[in-house]
Chains A and B, each alone.
Chain A
């Protein structure tokens, strides 16, 4: 069964349509102040309404988690950076809005590079079992990165027996192996703000 296409505007209202509508519009930033207060009143008056909001928050969290693992888009969808890069440097969004070349797409490119480097470091760590590079700076983000890698290594040891099962499918939990996006973004930002890395 396919879900009804919501883009045609004819999908049926669920039983608690107004509450759902208020919550989803709020999450997309679509409520004005009066509507926000109305939603707050509904939530204050009803534990069931708060449970509905909590369910939407869990859905939001799960969506973010799937997106972080790249498990929402179909392979080859136009937004896919791998295919978009072949057509237009920076992807279709940048083609539509050239000014994004300097801002968002550059930041995401930096994130992708940083993510790749970090993922490679993690893979190397997992393969060798030894840290090849000690953090060169005393910065908090380096500490976070190294700690994250340590935890990944611990996890790989304790979860060894479940690894085969996870590798058989596309279990989202196993797909959580890439570094967290916030960490990648932070490292990318720090890298872009550093004039010359202290490599030598």
Chain B
């Protein structure tokens, strides 16, 4: 009756789906809430009697994630100050996610590379990333803490993301790491 593999697979793909959600809704807290709803849907399916076996979990669960995210965006779209994600861009995010067939070994290597790259960030950059992702602080909150404007923090975090991306890609291309 119950299929624990679905829950296990969902947890295994958690960061994958969280990133997909971030691209769609651009809000970490919202992404987490949507993922929570997805988990409930998957859980209900896993516990349902007579449920069809899931052949391609990533594709199956991604569709649940996408629908939950679109539901959120429709509801949020009624708010006055909300800048919606354009449908054309949502389509391309979906396409990029579907086309990405990076395996778990490669993803683990990227995770290790990121860990090393993050440790090399300047103190202020690292602190801002930590505040953004660990504490879930808003740009305004980070700005208050580091003595900058929210816009400056947003720009700085974007540049930091690019630095980390380049660093990780460099380490993946040259597995022995960045020259010291």
Contacts and interface: CB of A to CB of B under 8 A. Distances in A.
Contacts of A87: none
A140 B44 contact: yes
A56 B165 contact: yes
A137 to B, nearest CB: 14
Contacts, number: 262
Interface in A76-129: 77-79, 81, 91-93, 96-97, 100, 104, 108
Contact of B168 (A59, A64, A81): A59
B166 A14 contact: yes
A178 B4 CA distance: 19
Given A62-B107, A151-B7, A183 B26 contact: no
A47 B161 CA distance: 21
Interface stretch (B50-58, B67-75, B87-95): B87-95
Nearest to A152: B11
Interface in A23-42: 24-30, 32-33, 36-37, 39-41
Interface in A11-25: 11, 14, 20-21, 24-25
Contacts of A9: 155, 159
A68 to B, nearest CB: 8
A117 to B, nearest CB: 18
B165 A26 contact: no
Q: Is the interface of A mostly helix, strand, loop or mixed?
A: helix
A55 B124 contact: no
Contacts of B157: 28
B91 A40 contact: yes
Contacts of A186: 36
A54 interface: yes
Interface string B112-140: 10110110111111110111011111011
Interface residues of B, number: 88
Given A72-B134, A73-B134, A6 B160 contact: yes
A40 B122 contact: no
Interface string B147-172: 00000001111111111111111000
Contacts of A11: 159, 162-163
A43 B95 contact: yes
Contacts of B36: 182-183, 185-186
Given A40-B92, A63-B114, A72 B23 contact: no
A200 interface: no
Interface of B: 4, 7-8, 11, 14-16, 18-20, 22-23, 26-28, 32-33, 35-36, 39-40, 43-44, 47, 83-86, 88-89, 91-93, 95-97, 99-100, 102, 107-108, 110-112, 114-115, 117-118, 120-127, 129-131, 133-137, 139-141, 144-145, 154-169, 178-180
Closest 3 interchain pairs by CB?
Answer: A6-B159, A73-B130, A61-B15
19 contacts: A7-B124, A9-B155, A26-B23, A27-B158, A29-B27, A33-B84, A33-B86, A43-B96, A59-B114, A61-B19, A65-B15, A72-B129, A73-B126, A79-B130, A144-B40, A151-B4, A154-B4, A182-B35, A182-B36
